[in-house]
Chain A
């Protein structure tokens, strides 16, 4: 019985290993972009625009930056890497997969403090994040500072204004910044520190404090073409596309801050 099954199994296995991009504009030409999931909304729009313009399809691999970096380090075939965390980009550069001069600082983001829109807490703006030390805010959500970039930045910011000590015990670390946003929205916590781009996606939270760019940590989304890219030219073309003014408008609409010259 096994003897009869194994060619079937082998066939299945081989069939599984061949496939191409899902949404195919031009089945043969495509680039694969590993991008941090926090930029996925504007990026998906821009990718469709690029496809229409050039006929090359853009296959987006959206996940957390550390997952993306791990995949690259294992030798995954990717043309362009867009990371939400410069540390992850550094890892990939250090491994020789990207020339050290290649990464372009594409975008920045800003941290904001949010509260549930439907909460009983007074609405309006905080004069400063120190308002969070009020006992009213028993629990505050942030991305896990151990691994989520947004959480890393949030902690760095709070430390820089000497609030981390007072607040650290109230922190509820979450698996991702969107998860932090979600629990603020449902009122499970009293406040949260997330990216401005996240806060703008929902009416369920209210921004009560914007961390000014000069006060906050440098949140940098960097992008680079991989040395081993299968189609480096198209990848470079896409990277340039992302830096056009029209693309900038899309990012801006989503709440990102443009960095490139």
Chain B
């Protein structure tokens, strides 16, 4: 029982960190895609959608090719003493990458619904573009952004294929999904069932929370 609770708390913690990590990049990408056309835009759109379209294991393989010790980024990080594979950092990375596309999609929809008129007026009132973004665009898009963050969080919670590839199935990096896999594959049915129940409970709680948040937006 202890194990179940600690794995659950660990997973929630990691997913929360992953959500925080994916927010700045996700919001920026959503904004750029919603407002600007530029050469290479299609490339950005494709890259952001890849983790949605590829099997998670494939995304995991791509990730370890980049951040593994033998990869370009991984070699650099190792030089500075930072390891990614088999660490919590790896868990956060895998979760962030898998949740990002969902965040970008929802946030982008949020930004697209913002009346550009408001942004224009803000500019005429003397606000520079960055200030307009934080004081007008982002607040007006907050429903989409929050929905995106919740989606990203949920995805991170349940993430398995990329996580197990990047962070392994170690006791120190075991998420709920990995634990269920391990228990099932090693015949520990009861433990698997217990973990499954916890996963379902967390999913319910997220849903309730997101409904509450959605409801409080209406004036």
Do any beta carbons of A and B sit within 8 angstroms of each other in the complex? yes
Chain A residues close to B by CB (< 8 Å):
1-2, 5, 9, 12-23, 32, 34, 37-38, 40-41, 44, 59-63, 67, 70-71, 73-77, 176, 178, 182, 201-202
Contact between chains at B164 and A63 (CB < 8 Å): yes
CB within 8 Å for A19 and B165 given contacts A74-B69, A74-B71: no
A34 to B86, CA, bound (A): 11
Contact between chains at B169 and A77 (CB < 8 Å): no
Choice from A18, A77, A176 contacting B185 with Cβ under 8 Å: A176
A19 to B83, CA, bound (A): 10
- B86 to chain A: which residues have CB within 8 Å? 32, 61, 76-77
Stretch at the interface among B45-53, B87-95, B113-121, B139-147: B87-95
- B173 to chain A: which residues have CB within 8 Å? 19
Chain B residues close to A by CB (< 8 Å):
17, 20-21, 24, 57, 61, 64-65, 68-71, 74, 82-89, 91-92, 134, 164-165, 168-174, 182, 184-187
- 7 smallest CB-CB distances across A and B, nearest first, come from A22-B171, A75-B69, A74-B68, A75-B70, A74-B64, A17-B89, A16-B88
CB distance from B134 to the nearest CB of A (A): 7
Contact between chains at B24 and A2 (CB < 8 Å): yes
- A73 to chain B: which residues have CB within 8 Å? 70
User: Which interface residue of B17, B134, B185 has the most chain A CB atoms within 10 A?
Assistant: B185
User: Which interface residue of A5, A22, A44 has the most chain B CB atoms within 10 A?
Assistant: A22
Q: Can you offer 5 A-B residue contacts whose CB atoms are under 8 A?
A: A14-B82, A16-B17, A16-B92, A62-B182, A75-B85
- A75 to chain B: which residues have CB within 8 Å? 68-71, 74, 85
- A19 to chain B: which residues have CB within 8 Å? 87-88, 172-173
Which DSSP category, helix, strand, loop or mixed, fits chain B's interface? helix
- B57 to chain A: which residues have CB within 8 Å? 67
Choice from A5, A16, A21, A61 contacting B91 with Cβ under 8 Å: A16
A40 to B184, CA, bound (A): 11
- A63 to chain B: which residues have CB within 8 Å? 164, 168-169
A5 to B172, CA, bound (A): 27
By beta carbon, the residue of chain A nearest B88 is A16
A44 to B165, CA, bound (A): 21
Choice from A12, A13, A38, A62 contacting B169 with Cβ under 8 Å: A62
Contact between chains at B65 and A74 (CB < 8 Å): yes
Contact between chains at A37 and B85 (CB < 8 Å): no
CB distance from A198 to the nearest CB of B (A): 8
CB within 8 Å for A67 and B69 given contacts A37-B185, A59-B170: no
CB within 8 Å for A16 and B170 given contacts A1-B134, A63-B164, A74-B64: no
A201 to B183, CA, bound (A): 13
- B65 to chain A: which residues have CB within 8 Å? 74
Choice from A5, A21, A74, A176 contacting B170 with Cβ under 8 Å: A21
Can you name 5 extra interface pairs (CB under 8 A) apart from A2-B24, A75-B68?
A: A9-B20, A13-B89, A17-B83, A38-B185, A41-B186
Choice from B82, B85, B169 contacting A76 with Cβ under 8 Å: B85
CB within 8 Å for A9 and B21 given contacts A61-B168, A76-B69: yes
By beta carbon, the residue of chain A nearest B16 is A12
- A2 to chain B: which residues have CB within 8 Å? 24
- B170 to chain A: which residues have CB within 8 Å? 21-22, 32, 59-61
- A76 to chain B: which residues have CB within 8 Å? 64, 68-69, 85-86, 168
